Structure 1
Amino acid sequence: MTRSEESAAGASDQGAPAAGSFNPTAKPASDLAAAVRQLVTGGARQLDAAALRDALLDLHEFWLATKATEIGITPTSGLAIVATGGLGRGEMVPFSDLDLMLLHDNLSQDQVSEVAERLWYPLWDANIRLDHSVRTVPEALQVAGEDTSAGLAMLEARHIAGDSELSSLLIGGARRQWRTGIAARFDELVEHAQDRWQRFGQIAHRAEPDIKSGRGGLRDVQLLNALAIAQLADVYPSQSLASPSGSLGGAHLALLNVRTELHRVSGRGRDTLLAQHADEIGAALQIGDRFDLARMLSDAARTVSYYVDAGIRTAGNALPRRGFSALRRPARRPLDEGVIEFNGEVILARDARPERDPGLVLRVAAASAITGLPMSSSTLSRLADSAPELRTPWPRQALKDLLVLLAAGPSTVATVEALDRTGLWGRLFPEWGAVRDLPPRDVIHIWTVDRHLIETVSRASSFTTRVSRPDLLMLGALLHDIGKGRGGDHSVIGAELATQVGTRLGLWPSDIETLSAIVRFHLLLPDTATRKDLQDPEVINAVANALGGDAVLLELLHVLAEADSLATGPGVWGDWKSSLIGDLVRRCRLVMAGEPLPQADPIDARHLALVEDVGGVRVEMSRIDNSHTYSVTVIAPDTRGLLSKAAGVLALSSLRVHSASVNSHRGFAINTFMVSPHFGAPPAAELLRQQFILALNGELDVYASLDKRDRDAQGTARVGEPPPAVPIRPPAAPPRILWHGDPAAGQLVAEVRTTDRSGLLAILTHVLERFGADITWAKVTTLGSSVVDVFGISGSELADKRAELERELYAVLPAPPPPKPVQEAS
């Protein structure tokens, strides 16, 4: 018994009477069509999706093999039938086209035409959709070489009947030709895929997705297979890079099963999953209702999308380089401790030990987000295999890296998606499982719940300078809908989960309370503003009382309401909603207690005692709790320019300033900085002291050195200078300067909210000092990549110079790129 006979018999055993009774030696093609219809509409005895595809495959192979023998297509005839498309891949779904090629070994036209007519006409007469061609092997290879789509199709070619050596020549030749020509075709291949994604959208986030051509669909699996045949990528990479609910192979099978049932349920060869068919397909696949089906499709499509993106990137890096780039080896550029950039990807350094470094996952992710460079799949695989879980509470640096990741803007979305598809995000946030791929119940939402949370984070990153606690804003945006998918009021459930997450992250108890309140009341402002009378004092008092009179919480909820609406869908946020919520917030502020003005931190008693003994410059350094963070205290005679030069020396020594407290006592400046080195160990305190003395004496120009470093980082190194470092993406939020105090009295407090950059503290204080302002005290706070720096300044001419000083400060602050001009249609 042949394989086709065995499969047909097996199909009959599973309850498909058409497969058992079908006899192609006695039946024309019309009975093949009838047998297919009987399989597809088998009633109570119908096959499941996988068994149906196998039965359809065997039926078509059996009929074609028998028909071939009947019309003289034998192993020695110089003729062969080759299948492409669904039959070639072995993925026959109910209404697949039949893609066939009749190969011949330079036979006469009359002979070939006669055989072709006897093969094609019965199929046409039976109304079987047929895509056919008649070619020699050289002709077929020529077409494959000239047309990328035809070349892709021949990669799936499979021998069906006749001369197998002829088929082997075509199949082997097409694959060799594809491998040798991929360098010239690669750009076209990627462009074709991107155009298709633009036309059909993302399966994971479409109400009615195209299972075949949408982003993350079956066409993308075929693209990955084509790259694998070109020996540029793995069609099914390491199993460790599986999504939380399955592997790439599982995702492919899930999409194929949905397409099979879609054809069966709709009764036609459609690939767009209409809402009217979703419940029936979900039931047929034993998944559940349409929401369960949508969740499964989201997971499958996003898994396929991740692997295709990684495959295209890997393939592009594997292609031979051209021109001058072929003569230059890709540079390995450091990004963070144990993290480097190589060949356009973020990878681990050679000496990185992920099994001993729990925080490495977040450092890699933060570096990816702020540079816009993707994390390599091999790096993610290694981290997934060996990185241990972070202890509770998280180390301070891990929380800082998380905040950097969240505040990076749109690049955060791709970074978190890659972490989630490889299971790493779920390790950081086990609560994520309930919202992962969860479809929205409200039609105004265009994203799954988990994607909506990350989109809200991305939107909120543009508003970090509008609040005094950007860190809590970003965490609140991340968690505001975390309570969904569990039943009950998601705001109440989410508030409890936010407390759980905040405790694990190591937040202060007061910050945990605020974070929980953000999640609990994230709908309070929009619901009140759009549904109640804002002229009623009782309404305003109720909101103020619910928030406990906390003006900071009110500020955070105001900004989150805008970010949440913008991340929901088009038209959700507009002037009407903005004005109503703004009016509610203004009224609430009137009934809340005023916010206290910023003030200096108290001076450590030990440092006060040291002032009595210091004769010159003293620098102390100590490590904080065995972490990667150090305290550096500089005590020196107070002179103008001292703070900016001290901050400049730290920046030039590759030390990031996370916070600082600046004070003075009896003519001495007492400046304490919390820092962490970019790489390795920090320089010794004595070396910092020597550099600081050189800067004070004018022998080290810290400002010129910082300016050169900044130009290098922006990719603007001059001829003859070293190549630029990896450029950092521009900030998402515009800088903001707030003024407190009375300029007429010569006393002002300048509050600067912006995005961090190397040497920022030195640059800001240099501008203040250049304008003749005496910095009497300062509080510097870096929250991830967001900065809130407060300077108490004095000077007799501050009232006259304040506007000019503000312009100069804004000029040195990092700002988002200007919006692109809108081109009018001609």
Structure 2
Amino acid sequence: MNDLGIPRQREIIDRRALAEAIAAAWEAEGEKSRPAVVAILKQALDDGRAEIARRLDAKPSAGHECTAGQSFLIDQLVRLIYDHIVAHVYPPGNRLQGERLTIMAVGGYGRAEMAPHSDVDIAFLTPGKRVPWCEQVIESILYFLWDLQLKVGHSSRTIDDSIRLAREDVTIRTALLEGRYVWGDQELYDEASHRFRKDVVAGTEREFVADKLAERNDRHKRMGDSRYVVEPNVKDGKGGLRDLQTLYWIGKYIHRVRSAADLVDAELFTQAEYRSFRRAEGFLLAVRCHMHIITGRAEDRLTFDLQREVAERMNFADRPGKSAVERFMQYYFLQAKRVGSLTGIFLAHIDETFAKRRRRTGLLAGFNPKPRMLKGYKVDGGRIAAPSDDWFRKDPVRLIEIFQIAEEHQLEIHPETMRIADRDSGLIRREVRDDPRANALFLDLLCGRNDPEMVLRWMNEASVFGRFVPDFGKVNAQMQFDMYHHYTVDEHTIRAIGLLNQIEKGELKVDHPRATKLIHKLASRRALYVAVLLHDIAKGRGGDHSVLGADVAEELCPRFGLDDAETELVAWLVRFHLLMSSTAQKRDLTDPKTIEDFVGEVQSLERLKNLAILTAVDIRAVGPGTWNSWKGQLIGELYDAAQERLRLGHVRHGRKERVEAKKAMVRERLGERAALVDEIGGLLDDAYWIAEPDDIIALNLVQYQVAREIEEHLSIHCEYYEARGATLVSIIAADHPGLFYRIAGGIHLAGGNIIDARIHTSRRGYAVDNFLVQDPLGQPFREDGQIERLRKSIADALGNRIELVPRLAQRPLARNRAKAFDVRPRVVFDNSASNRFTVLEVTARDRPALLNRLARALFESNLVVHSAHVTNYGERATDTFYVTDLTGHKVEGKGRMSQIEERLLEAASDERQAELEDA
């Protein structure tokens, strides 16, 4: 009998005392004792769980102790139930040969890795066709377990059935592989184990490994195929518990190991690697146990709200520049990374095991191709390997060289060599980091033309990357605790380098046509690659990571071998890597001051070209769907305007010339209706002609004319606008105070998010407003039903046919995960960003109708909104408004600004949202 090595077992559950209590209950009440027996067992279960939780609270990282304790608790309960049934309820009397029964623990229960709310997976084994006594006992055991409110997974089979099904189904085979004797007939269990080894395992090792690895790959794809997703699945995600279990299953199947420790004796791990395995497993098990205790259920996804609580329970504390939750998640990802390294090492040994067993037959029986040599390294079967165990110790620069050669010649690195590189990575000290040859090799790898992303990831897995570039080591596995970034900082950076490589090879021409052209016109491609490497290098240090990162760049670039001009460019790009995206998404690009300020910072075409490409890969590397045609269009508009200004030293045309040029383009678009440019267009001022694209102006003029002909005082036109990846909503209505916030409310009620808004008023007092709208997932409304719902909702809002405030308050938050973040509303006034308008920037927690509430606050503050721009960063939204007062002047005066700020903060606050929902 295996007691699972649990200390102070009777503090968890005292089986002897409980057995006596159950026997006493039976003696007192006989067959009517069932409720009393269930109550005894239920109390024991509750007390045991409480004791295990107390132990975890005292030792928050003791994952093995917690899961083994939980398994021990269930073992003892199952034994008590079995003994009670066999002794009192269904005593076998003169037991027949067929009246034999074995209870096996399988799954996580079989491995003794049960979190507090894990399923209880049990297999009942009988020698042959089940006799009535066996069926009665099995049924009674299950009813007792269900009465204890345990979630039970169970099977009941004969040994022959088990063997037959195990041959056919790899899931059943895996369950039997980790089957553990709990109670009942020991000889029957031993017979089943022997049969399983002889009739199922023998000769099927290669097939089992292939099935398990295919199963693992499919699971990784379902879970995001990265161990660095910011809400990882602790059990099934890449680098999670299931990956460790897969190693154990394979080792057990091939080498007959009984525990993970036996993997050392099988020479699949060194002692140090096993300790690393055990440490990673213990930490992941502890995290899972904490999650179960917090939620009161079987929860495996480490969501943002759980991350805070688990970090607190595991005693992680804030440090300068890093919160407790970020430190906890960094440690989590380091363990997940270690799991990946161990997997590579393990599978290399398995591969070699099979290779040794493989025997050639026929004419090729005596033929073994010799590996070729490449710069001192062995190359065999597409893999590069160190020729000896002390290869890197003799010359640590080789730790950089092997990865550069692998990238240049498109080779994989042999897992055993990866293992040696990981072991020897500590040899990379200052003299290696300062070695010109080492830095030249690293730069060649970083700027490699084949697949630098993959090889840099290998380099990171082997701990070589962080040793050679210690600043990169500091962001290794560092998460950014927000809903915007999908990956850790190191993973985001490596992905961005991969995207840059794809753009250079023309593989992303459809999504990034401008960047694909520009990248071949740069003065120094290597400066851009280094800038991408360093753009987030100073995250987590406290302070502005862009400013701190520029300082790092000034130190590192000369070391890498970049000249003064390249160093200056890289430092500038790192310092201002957010400038282009921020300007494009938060500012009015038709305002000349926006372009002047942007160009004043950029100052050269070379910087502009580099910044445009860096901006594209940075946004795209944030996560799937972050880059879209809307952002591409905005950045393209900013690039074109800035390029014209930089090339000519001034804007090619003045205001009057720009308006006339726009009118000419619209006339061409309108064709037979070109006269509308003068008839209707004359009612709109120059600001409208400069702000709107020619295609939207053409639509507006036709819409205005049709509305006038049919004497329609409210005209709403909605259509899918492919150029921006959004739905265009054009509204012509009699202008009146509050029009903007009512339109915004109607759009929100239809399920739309406004991403851009331009508000104009004709000389006859009619508003001509254009909105770009997407759904909560960033997709346009395209279907007829969606567009009609949008149109009707706006019409109802403007016609006062619905009460906006209570209806908007009833709408659920699109992503409740945002509540896990502390986003304090902030209001910034900027009177220098525009010559005509005050620019108001409001940052708050993103939620439905935020723009509507802010617009209402602006209306109540007697401000006129001329344009609005909405930017989302996960849980945060930044809404930018170009406003004037009712007389058309900028907002000035501290007292006036304070009043407006107070109104906006109230509208943006979570407390205000709660009040609305209560109402």
* TM interval, short-chain normalised: 0.5 to 0.7
Shift of 1:370: 4.3
The separation in 2 between residues aligned to 1:285 and 1:551, in whole angstroms, is: 51
Does 1:214 pair with 2:268?
no
Match for 1:32 among 38, 41, 59?
A: 41
Residue 261, structure 1, aligned to residue 293, structure 2: no
Q: Is 1:471 aligned to residue 471 of structure 2?
A: no
Q: Deviations over 1:78-125 (max 9, x none)?
A: 543221122211112112222222333448623432432343332233
Give 1:146 shift: 1.5
Deviations 1:128-175 (A, max 9, x none): 222223334343222222210111112211122234343233335435
Which piece of structure 1 moves more, 409-418 or 446-455?
Answer: 409-418
Q: Is the 8 A contact 1:203 1:297 kept in 2?
A: no
Is the CA contact (8 Å cut-off) linking 2:410 and 2:450 kept in structure 1? no
Q: 2:422 aligns to what? A: 384
Match of 1:589 among 646, 658, 669: 646
Aligned to 2:559: 504
Mapping of residues 344-423 of structure 1, within 5 Å: 344-349=382-387, 353-386=391-424, 388-389=427-428, 391=431, 394-408=434-448, 411-423=451-463
Q: Provide the rounded CA distance (Å) in 1 between the counterparts of 2:278 and 2:581.
A: 44
Q: Which residue of 2 aligns with 1:445?
A: 485
Shift in Å, 1:501:
2.0
Listed as ranges, the matches of 1:535-554 within 5 Å are 542-544=597-599, 546-547=601-602, 549-554=603-608
Pick aligned residue for 2:615 from 551, 561, 566: 561
The residue number in structure 1 matching 2:75 is: 61
- Which AA in structure 2 matches 1:273? L
TM-score calculated relative to the size of structure 2: 0.57
Q: Structure 1 residues 425 and 216 mapped into 2: Cα distance closer, same or farther (>3 Å)? A: same
Identical amino acids, percent of aligned pairs: 24
- Distance of aligned partners of 1:201 and 1:170 in 2 relative to their CA distance in 1, 3 Å threshold: farther
Question: Which residue, out of 165, 169, 178, partners 2:191?
Answer: 169
Q: Is the Cα contact below 8 Å between 1:392 and 1:504 reproduced in 2? A: no
Please point out which of 207, 214, 218 is paired with 1:191. Answer: 214
Q: Name the SS of the counterpart of 2:163 in structure 1.
A: helix
Question: Partner amino acid for 1:81?
Answer: I
| Contact kept in structure 1, 2:234 and 2:288, CA below 8 Å | yes
Q: Which amino acid aligns with 1:90?
A: A
Aligned counterpart, 1:572: 627
| Shift, 1:457, TM fit | 0.8
- C-alpha distance in structure 1 between counterparts of 2:415 and 2:396, whole Å: 19
Residue 496 of structure 2 corresponds to which residue in structure 1? 456
Aligned residues of 1:25 and 1:67 also touching (Cα < 8 A): no
CA shift, 1:303, in A, is: 2.6
Is 1:123 the counterpart of 2:145 in the alignment? yes
* CA deviation string 1:554-598 (max 9, x = no partner): 3322221122122123233533233134225413532679xxxxx
Name which of 332, 338, 341 aligns with 1:303.
338
1:133 aligned to which of 143, 146, 155:
155
What is the Cα deviation at residue 409 of structure 1?
A: 6.8
Q: SS state of the match for residue 280, structure 2? A: helix
Aligned-partner residue type, residue 445 of structure 1: H
Report the equivalent of 1:282: 311
Offset of residue 429 of structure 1: 1.1
8 Å Cα contact 1:392-1:505 kept in structure 2: no
- One-letter code aligned to 1:37: D
8 Å CA contact retained: 1:346, 1:373: yes
Question: 5 Å matches for 1:600-619?
Answer: none
Say whether the 8 Å CA contact 1:491–1:519 is kept in structure 2: yes
Q: Which residue of 2 aligns with 1:808?
A: none
Q: Distance in 2 between matches of 1:351 and 1:292?
A: 35
Task: Please tell me whether the aligned partners of residues 33 and 128 of structure 1 are also in contact (alpha carbons under 8 angstroms).
Answer: no
Q: 2:537, 2:545 within 8 Å by CA — same for their partners in 1? A: yes
Q: Which structure: greater helix fraction?
A: 2
Q: Secondary structure at the match of 2:413?
A: coil
Shift in CA distance, 296/81, structure 1 to aligned 2, threshold 3 Å: same
Look up the SS of the partner of 1:183 in the other structure.
helix
Is contact 2:230-2:487 (8 Å) kept? no
Contact 1:294-1:439 within 8 A present in 2 as well: yes
Question: 2 CA distance for matches of 1:169 and 1:316?
Answer: 31
| AA at the equivalent of 1:389 | I
Q: How far is 1:455 from its partner? A: 0.9
Q: 1:157 and 2:157 equivalent? A: no
Cα deviation per residue 1:702-752 (whole Å; 9 max; x = unaligned)? Answer: xxxxxxxxxxxxxxxxxxxxxxxxxxxxxxxxxxxxxxxxxxxxxxxxxxx
Residues 797-808 of structure 1: matches in 2 within 5 Å? none
How much is the aligned-residue C-alpha RMSD, in angstroms? 3.8
From 427, 440, 461, the counterpart of 2:467 = 427
Residue 817 (structure 2) aligns with: none
Gaps of 5+ in 2: 23-36, 318-323, 505-518, 651-919
> 1:214 and 1:389 mapped to 2: Cα distance?
32
CA 112–344 in structure 1, closer or farther in 2 if over 3 Å, else same: farther
Matched AA of 1:402? F
Whether 2:527 is the aligned partner of 1:489: answer no
Relative to structure 1, the CA distance from residue 282 to residue 136 in structure 2 (aligned partners, 3 Å threshold; closer, same or farther) is: same
Note the alpha carbon deviations across 1:796-818, whole angstroms, 9 max, x for none.
xxxxxxxxxxxxxxxxxxxxxxx
| Per-residue deviation, 1:523 | 1.9
Cα distance, 1:438 vs structure 2: 1.6
Cα shift at 1:485: 0.6
TM-score (norm 1): 0.63
Q: Is the 8 A contact 1:22 1:32 kept in 2?
A: no
Q: Could you tell which deviates more after superposition, 487-496 or 557-566?
A: 557-566
Distance 1:587 1:335 in 2: 54
- 1:57 is displaced (CA, Å) by 2.3
8 Å CA contact retained: 1:39, 1:52: no
Q: Which residue of structure 2 lines up, in the alignment, with residue 628 of structure 1?
A: none
Using the alignment, how far apart are the partners of 1:573 and 1:396 within structure 2? 41
- In structure 1, which of residues 180, 200, 204 is the aligned counterpart of residue 223 of structure 2? 200
1:521 is aligned, of 556, 559, 576, to 576
CA distance in 1, matches of 2:43, 2:224: 36
One-letter code aligned to 1:191: A
Higher-RCO chain (CA-CA 8 Å, sequence separation at least 6): 1
Distance 1:506 1:203 in 2: 32
- Alpha-carbon distance in 1 for matches of 2:107, 2:531: 48
Change (3 A) 1:170 1:413: farther
Whole-angstrom distance in 1 between the partners of 2:368 and 2:411: 15
Gaps of 5+ in 1: 594-826
Query: Per-residue deviation at 1:441?
Result: 3.8
* Partners of 2:577 and 2:611 within 8 A in 1: yes
Per the alignment, residue 379 of structure 2 pairs with 341
